[in-house]
Structure 1
């Protein structure tokens, strides 16, 4: 159990049978009345964000979470098989629990967040930026660097993104896994 004033970013609490991560908090001391904690919580399962107020001193059930590196091995049906980097145990994780799954390739290391008390996997997240090879894109024209015009490109994972006109097939690009946006070209 933790007190409401101990809530910080990244703390996981159990409320109404659901798990929530704190993504923002603020101590509020109104002119009169008691001090409150205004928090922004994100549901671990659905991803829904909600605003919640707690009185100072209110007891909350905290959940101890562990973050461990897992290496992606291969896909088996709808599940993706990962290997724990410390114990070498292999664990299947469902597609909907992995953020940025369309940019994941074999051998990538992801962070798996699990409930330490029950060993239940809450979710897996890709690194924010990954380097991938362009499998196919329309040929670009030399000197097309002055405009912000974008064209479609297919990555080695099969995902489709928008890239600038000067990007060619076979080049390496950095991609943001949160929204699939092109970041920059990477020299090999």
Structure 2
């Protein structure tokens, strides 16, 4: 779908210079001289590079709609992660590097959203929060106050996170998968 250069909004995905780019930031500029334009910060969806471009109102760009499908995480096999389409039961294999550091948060049976463009996966969205068990936590030091100090703890997936002093090994906590931070105790 073609749109004018000044209609690009943050979050839009456009086809530009032979690649897929997501608009991260947009700023509309009306200089004293000349025509108005949109200053757009773009991020390449394939390799992650960034680019700043100016789009005039008269220019048109191709806006791309990504298909979002629910997949269920099955297992890891070497460097590959195997997902299954919940409707068709077709399997999709993606490299661990494709998911990045957040691959450590994948749990058997977890539902993820895969963004597809022309049947090719270009992004994976994990749930924002997951419940994990603490396997190792430093003991509480006397004099530590609950409000101001945190201690390191190792979760079952091998990632360290800072937790309040009252959390001990064996407890389950809720973790933010985007920021990799402790949120609260899990019920």
Deviations 1:86-134 (A, max 9, x none): 322110011122152122211111111110xx21100112122222221
Residues 146 and 165 in structure 2, CA contact (< 8 A), matched pair in contact too = no
Computed over aligned residues only, the root mean square deviation of the Cα atoms, in angstroms, reads 2.1
Normalising by structure 1, what TM-score?
0.87
- Whole-angstrom distance in 1 between the partners of 2:183 and 2:28: 36
Aligned to 1:180: 180
Aligned to 2:107: 105
Q: Does 1:21 align with 2:22?
A: yes
Count of residues paired in the alignment: 185
Structure 2: runs of 5 or more not aligned? none
- Whole-angstrom distance in 2 between the partners of 1:177 and 1:109: 14
- Find the residue that maps to 2:104 and give its secondary structure: helix
Deviations 1:69-101 (A, max 9, x none): 211110011010011123221100111221521
Structure 1: runs of 5 or more not aligned? none
Counterparts of residues 25-40 of structure 1 (less than 5 Å): 25-40=26-41
- Whole-angstrom distance in 1 between the partners of 2:141 and 2:87: 48
Could you say if the C-alpha distance between residues 168 and 120 of structure 1 is closer, same or farther in structure 2, counting changes exceeding 3 Å? same
Counterparts of residues 104-123 of structure 1 (less than 5 Å): 104-115=106-117, 118-123=118-123
**Which of structure 1's runs of 4+ aligned residues deviate more than 3 A?**
139-145
Normalising by structure 2, what TM-score?
0.87
Counterparts of residues 1-188 of structure 1 (less than 5 Å): 1-99=2-100, 100-115=102-117, 118-140=118-140, 144-186=144-186, 188=187
- Whole-angstrom distance in 1 between the partners of 2:130 and 2:116: 23
Residues 80 and 94 in structure 1, CA contact (< 8 A), matched pair in contact too = yes
